[in-house]
Amino acid sequence: MFCTEDAVRIAGQRQPKVIFDFIEGASGREVAATRNQSRFDEITLQQRVMENVDRRNLSKTFLGQKYNLPFGIAPMGMCNLAWPDTDSALAQAATNYNIPICLSSAASSTIKEMRDWAGENAWFQLYVGGSMELSLELVERARTEGYKTLVLTVDVPQVSRRLRDLRNGFTMPFRLGPRLLWDFATHPRWSLTSIWHGAPSPKNFKLGKNGTHFDRNASRAGANWNFLEKLRASWTGNLVIKGVTSARDAIRIKQAGADAIYVSNHGGRQLDSAPAAIDALPKIRNAVGADYPLLFDSGVRNGEDIVKALAMGADFVMIGRPMLFAMGADGAKGLNSLIKIFAEDTSLTLAQTGLNDITAVSPDILSNNTSAVEQLQQPLLKTATS
């Protein structure tokens, strides 16, 4: 396995189709998901020569914590479907490489388990779904366990229609029919190990005081402006708002006192006509100013993409699907390989662009000046000349 695309291919052979499609799939015709990646390919970086780039630093501080790499693991529900024990493997990797891992509300491991495994590197992502009471209980549990960073996801007012899941009959828990049984029977490695480890379920919801179950299709629109105000008043740790692509929303979120904005279109899993997240990024950077912390995901598939996202205005980058494909391809070994590949690729990109420190990445290294990029570069040029 030498790149994300290898991981996708191998995971596609080893995971049942219903699982692979759940991970790779997106909303509608999957235009947004495709565009997320194709827009990355259109961005070009300016190669620089004859710089002293023998030694290169990849470590970055984000929201007061120093990480060894400029990227972390995005929140994803039901990761243990990708391969048994994915959550603990992700946590182990986050500890080994000193990168953040964000546990989803809909995770197949508990808030406590993740904190025990990943310590200070664990963040918690909150969905305000179905029951407000349970959502607040999740925040309380995160606080009790000592989480410092809470990520509130706001781009799922309603779960979108994901055609692959509908066609495959993907439901939680599984409703086993002949097609699903055949799918599992023809992927014995995944199926036997999954049977051995027990079927994954959204564990945090099961533990709710009232025994509330997670309803994937319930509205998650409780995460509104009013809720943000209350959450900001009660959560004293870092508060990050995830799923923002509008500059106007970004300004309001900053005004509401959030510590960071997480620019993302959910990997194209929500609005199929959404702009590519990477196109929204420079606009949001312009709107919130140079110093406001921005996190980014959606469509990042290699180290060059990471450097591009940083150059387009992100302070830190999160990786979604590739982590689950790496697990599906070769379990924890695959995950470790892919993280190493991402790190090496990022470092090599620094060398090619004449830089030896990830913190030196700026819009200056972008070579195709679209208007958004020009806007980003203008203040930079002004500061450089003043």
Ligand X SMILES: Cc1cc2nc3c(=O)[nH]c(=O)nc-3n(C[C@H](O)[C@H](O)[C@H](O)COP(=O)(O)O)c2cc1C
Q: Least Å distance between CB 264 and ligand X?
A: 4
Between 109 and 125, CB nearer to ligand X? 125
Q: How far apart are CA 21 and CA 334, in angstroms?
A: 19
The number of beta carbons lying within 10 Å of the beta carbon of residue 235 is 18
Confirm or reject binding of residue 298 to ligand X (CB under 6 A).
yes
Confirm or reject binding of residue 125 to ligand X (CB under 6 A).
yes
Confirm or reject binding of residue 93 to ligand X (CB under 6 A).
no
Sign, CA dihedral 375-377-380-386, equals negative
Which of 93, 106, 122, 343 is the binder for ligand X (CB under 6 A)? 106
Residue 123 pairs in a beta bridge with 102
Prior bond of 173 cis (ω within 30°)? yes
Sign, CA dihedral 149-150-156-159, equals positive
Site for ligand X in 68-87 (CB under 6 A): 74-77
Between 117 and 170, CB nearer to ligand X? 170
Q: Least Å distance between CB 106 and ligand X?
A: 4
Between 164 and 266, CB nearer to ligand X? 266
Site map (CB under 6 A) of ligand X, residues 129-168, x = contact: ------------------------x---------------
125 Rama class: left (phi>0) / alpha (psi -120 to 50) / beta: beta
Between 130 and 355, CB nearer to ligand X? 130
Q: State yes or no: 169 annotated in a binding site.
A: no
CA 49 to chain centre: 33
Neighbour-count burial for 290-319, b at 16+ CB within 10 Å, e otherwise: eebbbbbbbbbbbbbbbbbbbbbbbbbbbb
Describe the crossing of helices 321-352 and 86-97 by its angle, rounded to 10 degrees: 20
Site map (CB under 6 A) of ligand X, residues 262-281, x = contact: --x-xx-x------------
Give backbone dihedrals phi and psi of 316, rounded to 5 degrees, phi first: -155, 150
Q: State yes or no: 162 annotated in a binding site.
A: yes
Catalytic residue among 187, 197, 213, 266: 266
Confirm or reject binding of residue 320 to ligand X (CB under 6 A).
yes
Q: State yes or no: 165 annotated in a binding site.
A: no
Confirm or reject binding of residue 114 to ligand X (CB under 6 A).
no
Give catalytic status of residue 197 as yes or no: no
Query: What is the distance between the terminal CA atoms of the chain, rounded to a whole angstrom?
Result: 48
Dihedral of CA atoms 271, 151, 114, 105 in degrees, nearest 10, equals -50
Q: State yes or no: 178 annotated in a binding site.
A: no
Q: State yes or no: 243 annotated in a binding site.
A: no
Cite the annotated binding site for glyoxylate by residue number: 127, 162, 266, 269
Q: Which residues are catalytic?
A: 266
Residue ranges in contact with ligand X by CB under 6 A: 23, 36, 74-77, 104, 106, 125, 153, 242, 264, 266-267, 269, 297-300, 320-321
